[in-house]
Amino acid sequence: MTIAAAEVDHLTVTLGARTILRDLSLRVEAGEFVAVLGPNGAGKSTLLKVLLGLIPPAGGTVRIAGRPPGRGRGDVGYCPQVRDLDRDTPLRGRDLVGFGLDGHRWGFGRSNPERDRRIDEALVEVDAAAFADAPVGQLSGGEQQRLAIAEALLGRPKLLLLDEPLSSLDVRSQHDIVELVDRLRRQLNMAVLFVTHGINPLLPVIDRVCYLANQHAAIGTVEEVIRTEVLSELYGSPIEVIRTGSRVFVATEEEHSP
């Protein structure tokens, strides 16, 4: 059996007295695109932090490319949720990307040919070279998200973790970011875990879904997981899945919809 890009086996995660995830098992293969869904507080971001080595499991095992997770691994790229930036910040696009190489240091990294080459290469890969020298606070949400992905690519990761990259983006920008991530994972044979509230922009590209709720998970294809009976059992309450054309909607008592 080949080594998985990421694998968790009977994972349990607790924060304080609260259990966030219980007995979760998930294997993500090289080049696979997995959407991570679920209501607020279900543990989506927590799962990413466990894979990054930021949160230790209370039980079970975690492996990234066959090894335990750890901080600062170049084979794992991470895109946190993009925050609003001050329009007057002096930070340029290429400065933001450069944090992927020297963000642990105080101030900006020093320019050198190899560093500049790697940053320029990442900017081209995400189609961001045209605004590489623009102030990041004046860029659109979609442009800022491209820069965040470029930063995550600097280590040439085999696993890319994205936390809500579509939030606050318009429909066109959502489509562009999904298309970009799908192209990159195919070019680089890079596994992707993509945390999102909205599954519809991802339907053309994802291989499987990991749907988290009520401490547990349902894992499989969209057709296997996004079903009334499966999600009702996962939530422990009645859930209605509605399909309209090529779109899928999940209706809960709290009106969560992926």
At a CB cut-off of 8 Å and minimum separation 6, what does 191 contact? 5, 6, 28, 29, 30, 31, 32, 33, 34, 158, 159, 160, 185
Residues 45, 5 share a domain: yes
**pLDDT tier for residue 89 given thresholds of 50, 70 and 90:** confident
What's the pTM value of the predicted model, to 2 decimals? 0.91
- pLDDT category of residue 104 using cuts at 50, 70 and 90: very low
Same domain, 65 and 186: yes
Residue 256 within any structural domain of the chain: no
At position 160, the amino acid (one-letter code) is L
pLDDT at 110: 62
Nearest of 59, 58, 79, 56 to residue 69 by alpha carbon = 56
Domain identity same for 63 and 167: yes
For the residues 177-195, what does the mean pLDDT come to?
Answer: 97
Instruction: Answer yes or no: is pLDDT of 1 > 70.
Output: no
Q: Are 239 and 255 in contact (CB under 8 A)?
A: no
Q: What is the dihedral of CA 71, 72, 76, 82, to 10 degrees?
A: 90
Reduce the secondary structure of the chain to three states and give it as a string. CCCCCEEEEEEEEEECCEEEEEEEEEEECCCCEEEEECCCCCCHHHHHHHHCCCCCCCEEEEEECCECCCCCCCCEEEECCCCCCCCCCCCEHHHHHHHHHHCCCCCCCCCCHHHHHHHHHHHHHCCCHHHCCCEHHHCCHHHHHHHHHHHHHCCCCCEEEEECCCCCCCHHHHHHHHHHHHHHHHHHCCEEEEECCCCHHHCCCCCEEEEEECCEEEEECHHHHCCHHHHHHHHCCCCEEEEECCEEEEECCCCCCC
Structural domain of 150: 86-155
In the chain, how many domains are there?
Answer: 2
Residues 165 and 37 in one domain: yes
Domain-ending residue, one of 113, 139, 155: 155
Query: Considering the domain boundaries, does residue 135 fall inside one?
Result: yes
CATH, residue 173 = 3.40.50.300
Residues 13 and 59 grouped into a single domain: yes
> What is the mean predicted confidence (pLDDT) over 168-191?
96
Same domain flag for 70 and 164 = yes
Split at pLDDT 50, 70, 90, the class of 254 is low
Is 169 found in the same domain as 65? yes
Residue 191 lies in a domain: yes
**Percent of the chain whose predicted confidence (pLDDT) is above 90:** 79
- The answer as to whether 234 is a domain residue is no
HSE value, Cβ hemisphere, 13 Å, CA-based, for 156: 4
pLDDT category at 191 given cuts 50, 70, 90 is very high
- Do 66 and 101 share a domain, yes or no? no
Query: Is the pLDDT confidence value at 240 over 80?
Result: yes
- Mean pLDDT, all residues of the chain: 91
pLDDT class for 168, splitting at 50, 70, 90?
A: confident
Distance, in Å, from the CA atom of 30 to the CA atom of 74, rounded to the nearest integer, reads 16
Mean pLDDT score, 227-244: 94
Residue ending a domain, among 155, 176, 199, is: 155
Q: Quick check: is 199 in a domain?
A: yes
Whether residue 4 sits in one domain with residue 25: yes
- Rounded to 5°, angle at Cα 77 from 129 and 206: 90
- Examine the pLDDT at 160 and tell me if it is beyond 90: yes
